[in-house]
Amino acid sequence: MVEALVLILVCFCSEFCTSTDIITSTQYIKDSETIVSIGQIFKLGFFTPVNSTNRYVGILCNVSVVTPVWVANRNKPLNDSSGIVTISEDGNLVILNGQKEIIWSSNVSNPVANSSAQLLDTGNLNLRDNSSRQIIWESFQHPSDSFLQKMTIGTDAKTQESTLLTSWKSPLNPSVGTFSVGVEPLNIPQLFVRNGSHPYWRSGPWNGQIFIGVPSMDSSYLNGFNLVDDKEETISLTYNYPSDQSYLLYLHLNSEGLLQQKIWWFGGKEEWEVGCSAIEHECDVYGKCGPFGSCNSLESPICTCLRGFEPKHMNEWSRGNWSGGCIRKTPLRCERNNSVNDVGKKDGFLKLQAMKVPDFAELSSATIEDNCGSLCLNNCSCIAYSYYIGIGCMQWSGSLLDIQRLPSSGVDLYIRVAYSELGNTFCLLYHLVVNYAPILTLKKIKNTYPLFLCV
Ligand SMILES: *[C@@H]1O[C@H](CO)[C@@H](O)[C@H](O)[C@H]1NC(C)=O
Ligand SMILES: *[C@@H]1O[C@H](CO)[C@@H](O)[C@H](O)[C@H]1NC(C)=O
Ligand SMILES: *[C@@H]1O[C@H](CO)[C@@H](O)[C@H](O)[C@H]1NC(C)=O
Ligand SMILES: *[C@@H]1O[C@H](CO)[C@@H](O)[C@H](O)[C@H]1NC(C)=O
Ligand SMILES: *[C@@H]1O[C@H](CO)[C@@H](O)[C@H](O)[C@H]1NC(C)=O
Ligand SMILES: *[C@@H]1O[C@H](CO)[C@@H](O)[C@H](O)[C@H]1NC(C)=O
Ligand SMILES: *[C@@H]1O[C@H](CO)[C@@H](O)[C@H](O)[C@H]1NC(C)=O
Ligand SMILES: *[C@@H]1O[C@H](CO)[C@@H](O)[C@H](O)[C@H]1NC(C)=O
Ligand SMILES: *[C@@H]1O[C@H](CO)[C@@H](O)[C@H](O)[C@H]1NC(C)=O
Ligand SMILES: *[C@@H]1O[C@H](CO)[C@@H](O)[C@H](O)[C@H]1NC(C)=O
């Protein structure tokens, strides 16, 4: 009797107690089995999405709700439970179906005879060469739809290769959907969600600590991003929130293109809580109000033309179709032929406060705020500027797109308009040189720097 019990325990244990975090060519896993990271935070195994019959291999959070944060055979599901995950003869991590056909492979081209895969507590699956201990492949470099802490997404400027998150097609289909998230290095780094090639959401520029177009990043909640831009080769973003084991937190791009923070409290409600979301309001959708339109989530209608601008297509605009945007009411001085009447009627800037700055900012060489404005005014192709500590002097040409009046935080944005559009609040350049001093107060100025004032 006792012997039988011991025997049962031994059998039971050999199947369930010897949990490991490693897969090797001999120590492979079958459909019903998992490997578990050493701190039991993540596991790797087979799963079926809700309402689906397909089997996928993924890395899942070790919580009571099936939560895949990475999927191997996204585009090639198994149709039964005969699959295994193992190391192939050439050292690759592979998924085989019941017929021993390769369904998925880590596809490392340099074959190594001896390798093993280990699942870490970060959720990263590492494939290592046993003899050199070198990592030859890792799941963090091939993300699915989840941005886990310590993971890095980025762009290699030389090869133009990007590490992106890609959404699922639908909640029941992990194959690659239309949405992606990536860091884009053009001029000043920004985080983008794209729908195919179209921008769907934009973070605004990185200021060295946060993305300045995301109000919720001002709170400590979203601190933990770190962006490294070596200006020549790579730009990379890491998410590293200090964690204290009482919760699990990651960013998830769902199949509708929403980038959301998801939190699981251990010992809590046994469900995922959604924290901040990239798109909290319609105004957060890229280019909602079209060129030269500005979005304000606290107003109705949400879209208005920037001051000095009017709707391009009045009928569409008043119907709530804002995509056509706005056009300038009065041409800038630069755009007109110089005539006698123009003397002293130099363009000026309107100051807009608490703004999400437009897309396509260019960095100017100006090192102080006053210079930023004067350089812009004296350059006909410059139509707006903003000076922000941590970034410097941003200038825009062409058209201004994806502007928002933010409910909190935001920056000062200066828009160039014709002299006649300058209302009560405007900014003019004062300078010693007569040419640059369109109006009054010459005598007040003694220094040789151009001075930029808003009155
Ligand atoms: C799964 O199917 C049920 C019943 O058809 C439906 O109510 C539910 O919304 C489905 N879930 C998903 C995630 O599609
Ligand atoms: C997963 O977490 C549970 C607690 O939620 C724990 O009891 C279990 O040992 C962990 N490991 C596995 C493989 O489920
Ligand atoms: C499952 O897939 C295998 C190939 O991987 C195929 O031969 C088989 O017919 C499929 N079975 C079903 C029920 O679709
Ligand atoms: C691996 O390579 C094969 C052949 O080049 C390709 O069909 C397959 O999609 C690749 N798999 C992955 C996961 O990249
Ligand atoms: C694999 O490594 C083991 C020791 O870790 C060694 O004994 C064996 O010869 C190696 N096999 C190959 C093919 O290199
Ligand atoms: C490779 O290393 C792992 C872990 O150290 C070990 O379990 C496995 O047997 C090794 N594989 C070979 C082929 O030696
Ligand atoms: C994404 O793009 C597709 C195809 O252009 C479109 O049908 C869909 O409405 C877009 N989704 C969103 C949320 O904009
Ligand atoms: C919205 O207006 C644009 C012109 O600005 C037009 O091309 C487009 O068809 C309109 N869309 C709808 C849904 O009416
Ligand atoms: C500006 O000058 C050009 C030729 O220099 C002339 O063709 C054009 O009509 C003028 N435009 C206006 C608005 O005066
Ligand atoms: C004028 O501004 C444009 C756009 O901001 C910029 O590309 C160009 O280099 C500037 N020209 C000069 C001479 O500063």
HEC profile of 218-240: HCHHHCCEEEEECCCCEEEEEEC
Atom nearest to 319 CA in ligand 8: 14
User: 89 and 183: one domain?
Assistant: no
Question: From atom 12 of ligand 8, which residue's Cα is the shortest distance away?
Answer: 321
Q: Pick the last residue of a domain from 108, 141, 174.
A: 141
- pLDDT 10s digits, 281-332: 999 999 999 999 999 999 999 999 999 999 999 999 999 999 999 999 988 8
Give distance in angstroms: CA of 96 to centre of ligand 3: 13
Whether 84 is in a domain gets the answer yes
CB atoms within 10 A of CB 277: 16
User: 308 and 417: one domain?
Assistant: yes
Give distance in angstroms: CA of 294 to centre of ligand 6: 59
Whether 11 is in a domain gets the answer no
Least-confidence region, from 154-168, 264-278, 287-301, 373-387: 154-168
Q: What does the CA dihedral 295, 300, 305, 306 come to, rounded to 10 degrees? A: -60
Q: What is the mean pLDDT of the chain?
A: 85
Atom nearest to 114 CA in ligand 5: 1
Atom nearest to 323 CA in ligand 8: 5
Whether 4 is in a domain gets the answer no
Whether 362 is in a domain gets the answer yes
Per-residue DSSP letters for 109-163? SS--SSEEEEE-TTS-EEEEETTT--EEEEGGGS--SEE-TT-EEEEETTTTEEE
User: 137 and 35: one domain?
Assistant: yes
User: 90 and 207: one domain?
Assistant: no
* Ligand closest to the CA atom of residue 177: 7
User: 67 and 168: one domain?
Assistant: no
Give distance in angstroms: CA of 225 to centre of ligand 4: 32
Give the pLDDT band (50/70/90) at residue 426: low
Q: Which residue has the higher pLDDT, 295 or 454?
A: 295
Residues in the ligand 7 pocket, defined by CB under 6 Å: 178, 195-196, 200, 257
CB atoms within 10 A of CB 324: 17
Handedness of CA 286, 187, 328, 366 (dihedral sign): positive
- Pocket mutation for ligand 7, best pick of 195, 200, 286 (most atoms within 8 Å of C-beta): 195
Whole-number Å distance between alpha carbons of 419 and 438: 10
pLDDT of res. 339: 57
Handedness of CA 325, 276, 121, 174 (dihedral sign): negative
Whole-number Å distance between alpha carbons of 82 and 99: 9
User: 89 and 129: one domain?
Assistant: yes
Asked whether 171 lines ligand 1 (CB < 6 A), one says yes
pLDDT of res. 111: 75
pLDDT of res. 11: 41
* Ligand closest to the CA atom of residue 335: 9
Atom nearest to 113 CA in ligand 5: 13
pLDDT of res. 235: 79
User: 77 and 205: one domain?
Assistant: no
Give the pLDDT band (50/70/90) at residue 15: very low
Residues in the ligand 3 pocket, defined by CB under 6 Å: 79, 97
* Structural domains in the chain (count): 3
Q: Which range marks the domain in which residue 330 is found?
A: 284-454
User: 274 and 291: one domain?
Assistant: no
User: 320 and 399: one domain?
Assistant: yes
- Quick one: average pLDDT of 394-413? 94
Whole-number Å distance between alpha carbons of 285 and 7: 62
- At residue 352, the 3 state secondary structure works out as strand
Q: Pick the last residue of a domain from 107, 141, 175.
A: 141
Asked whether 66 lines ligand 1 (CB < 6 A), one says no
Whether 438 is in a domain gets the answer yes
pLDDT of res. 440: 30
Q: Are strands 234-239 and 152-156 parallel, antiparallel or unpaired?
A: antiparallel
User: 161 and 25: one domain?
Assistant: no
Whether 339 is in a domain gets the answer yes
Helices (H), 258-342: 314-318
Q: Pick the last residue of a domain from 280, 307, 338.
A: 280
pLDDT above 60 (res 57): yes
Whole-number Å distance between alpha carbons of 32 and 50: 17
* Ligand closest to the CA atom of residue 95: 4
- At residue 200, the 3 state secondary structure works out as strand
- pLDDT 10s digits, 125-170: 999 999 999 999 999 999 999 999 889 898 887 777 889 999 999 9
Whether 298 is in a domain gets the answer yes
Between the ranges 285-294, 401-410, 441-450, where is the mean pLDDT highest? 285-294
Atom nearest to 25 CA in ligand 6: 13
- 103 Cβ partners below 8 Å, 6+ apart? 73, 76, 78, 83, 94, 95, 96, 97
Whether 429 is in a domain gets the answer yes
Q: Give the residue among 397, 318, 326, 388 at the shortest CA–CA distance from 356.
A: 388
Give the pLDDT band (50/70/90) at residue 84: very high
- Quick one: average pLDDT of 412-424? 86
Whole-number Å distance between alpha carbons of 354 and 411: 5
Asked whether 56 lines ligand 4 (CB < 6 A), one says no
- Quick one: average pLDDT of 229-255? 81
User: 316 and 404: one domain?
Assistant: yes
Q: Which residue has the higher pLDDT, 410 or 242?
A: 410
Between the ranges 1-15, 127-141, 414-428, where is the mean pLDDT highest? 127-141
- 62 Cβ partners below 8 Å, 6+ apart? 36, 37, 40, 41, 42, 43
Asked whether 175 lines ligand 10 (CB < 6 A), one says no
pTM comes to 0.85
- 217 Cβ partners below 8 Å, 6+ apart? 210, 211, 223, 225
User: 93 and 126: one domain?
Assistant: yes
Whole-number Å distance between alpha carbons of 202 and 290: 14
Q: Count how many residues are written for the chain.
A: 455
